Amino acid sequence: GENVEQHPSTLSVQEGDSAVIKCTYSDSASNYFPWYKQELGKRPQLIIDIRSNVGEKKDQRIAVTLNKTAKHFSLHITETQPEDSAVYFCAAEADSWGKLQFGAGTQVVVTP
């Protein structure tokens, strides 16, 4: 089955700097890669996703890149703000039935 590894587990950045989170996956058949943000005490919420027919996708200050050959994908947050502080999870489509295999999460702390 699918295995997703996520790094780093914690990331501290100064406000205004960029943050990068990287994930690798094992199943070359995976075609869908969402990223979720979970603020303390709240539900995971989708912030951006990418499918295998696209190499990069951007939405304002966040972007995701996908390298299918190397089986890794990354989340980039530019001009970080304190409200970006949260746990971020990557995921990869696993098998069928819409199943997702999640990474372990990255705790991002943005300091003013």
Compute CA distances 65 → 15, 42, 45, 53, 74, whole Å. 22, 26, 19, 11, 5
Give the Cα separation of 40 and 73 in Å (integer): 25
Footprint (CB under 8 A) of other proteins, residues 79-98: 89, 93, 97-98
Q: How many residues does the chain have?
A: 112
Shortest Å distance, C-beta 64 to other proteins: 14
**Residue 14 CB, nearest approach to other proteins (Å):** 25
Nearer to other proteins (CB atom), residue 59 or residue 79: 59
Binding mask 16-45 for other proteins (x = CB under 8 A): --------------xxx-x-x-----xxxx
| Alpha carbons 52 and 29: distance in angstroms, whole number | 9
Among 19, 23, 62, 100, binds other proteins (CB under 8 A): 100
Question: Biggest alpha carbon distance in the chain?
Answer: 43
Q: Which residue ranges make up the site for other proteins (CB under 8 A)?
A: 4, 30-32, 34, 36, 42-46, 49, 51, 89, 93, 97-105
